[in-house]
Amino acid sequence: MTILDCAIIGGGPAGLTAGLYTTRGGLENVTMFEKGMPGGQITNSSEIENYPGVTGEITGMDLMMPWPAQCQKFGLKHEMVNVVRVTKSNDLFTIHQEDGTTVDAHSVIMGTGSSPRRAGFTGEKDFLGRGVSTCATCDGFFYKGKEVVVIGGGDTALEEALYLAKICSKVYLVHRRDTFRSAPNTVERIKKSENIELILNSFPDEVYGDSAGVTGLRVKNRDGESRDISVPGIFTFVGNDVNNQTLIQEDGTFLCDMNEQGQVIVDISMKTSVAGLFATGDMRIAAPKQVISAAGDGAVAALQAISYVDELLN
């Protein structure tokens, strides 16, 4: 059986860029394992304005559509299968697939990303991408001069609320407690911001709207009292779940070092604690969670993988 020079797990911007750079850089047997269509979370975005070189109206799907063909031009193969586990024995990695088959590889680049945690209110899924967002950097500009709601009480929620307050006329910050799980100086900045209104001890109940998108959010407090907030945009920041399941070994440990949030610990070269294993994009520590950053991770990891395989085999 042929041993892959590199196995890429995940077909988002990081995985696709890794596929482009590894194949164009000289690795001959490279396969990207992605159970669905390549592209990643960004394909759900209705409009992209902050990717360099992209002008005019373009959706996330439009942005990502040419990427797979570009990679395949240089020899990248795409296996539409679900990888359940990655293991390593001596110098060989084994890719365990859902159907029970395995593939061996000299190096592995992980790019399985993360999934924004749902807040769980009625209509959240229906209006995702049509007024409900999980990325202020991506979508905040669309609400310039308008009022929006931010849901959450951690560092990310408060930092994104401050970011949106510079763009939007008003930000309603909805949090289920009366205290925040954030740095004290960030909380102080929130309280001093004149256009941020705190709605504490409250939770989102239902988002509503029409065919054009969101028109408002109903929130409830602990006493069961309801309040309707008329806004076109709602940003939820209640955490992210790192898609790290494929790194879990049979004994329940992880293949490489992780932090408490389940993010893969990497150095500046995307190297993990395991030689030949690289992690990119949203699944790594300190990830900016932007398409361009993930693509950069993929390029860095690919160049490192090429050097690793060359040294291993020569």
Both 40 and 103 in one domain: the answer is yes
Both 23 and 105 in one domain: the answer is yes
% pLDDT > 90, the chain: 84
State the average pLDDT over residues 296-311: 98
State the average pLDDT over residues 178-183: 89
Strands (E) located in 163-258: 170-174, 196-199, 202-210, 213-221, 226-229, 233-236, 240-242
For the chain, the domain total comes to 2
Q: Is 48 within a domain?
A: yes
The lowest-confidence range among 39-43, 195-199, 201-205 is 39-43
Summarised one tens digit per residue, pLDDT across range 28-68 is 999 999 999 899 988 867 678 789 999 888 888 899 999 99
Instruction: Say which residues have a Cβ less than 8 Å from residue 182's Cβ, sequence separation at least 6.
Output: 153, 154, 155, 157, 158, 159
Q: What's the CATH code of the domain at 300?
A: 3.50.50.60
Both 105 and 33 in one domain: the answer is yes
Q: Is 123 within a domain?
A: no
Both 138 and 215 in one domain: the answer is yes
Q: Is 53 within a domain?
A: yes
- Give the end of a domain, one of 207, 236, 265: 236
Output b/e per residue, 190-217; b: 16+ Cβ within 10 A. beebeebebbeebbbeebebeeeebebb
Both 106 and 141 in one domain: the answer is no
- Give the end of a domain, one of 236, 266, 290: 236
pLDDT-based confidence at 122, cuts 50/70/90? very high
Both 110 and 143 in one domain: the answer is no
Both 104 and 10 in one domain: the answer is yes
Both 230 and 259 in one domain: the answer is no
Both 309 and 212 in one domain: the answer is no
Domain enclosing residue 52, as ranges? 6-116+240-313
Summarised one tens digit per residue, pLDDT across range 248-292 is 999 999 999 999 999 999 999 999 999 999 999 999 999 988 899
Both 137 and 284 in one domain: the answer is no
Look up the pTM and report it. 0.80
- Give the end of a domain, one of 183, 207, 236: 236
Provide the residue type at 121 as one letter.
Answer: F
Q: Is 127 within a domain?
A: no
Q: Is 124 within a domain?
A: no
What average pLDDT is seen over the chain? 95
The conformation of residue 282, written as its DSSP 8-state character, comes to G
Q: Is 173 within a domain?
A: yes
Both 39 and 103 in one domain: the answer is yes
SS3 139: helix
Q: Is 104 within a domain?
A: yes
Tell me phi and psi for residue 59, to 5 degrees: -85, 170
Residues recognised as catalytic: 135, 138-139
CB 219 within 8 A of CB 229: yes
Q: Is 262 within a domain?
A: yes
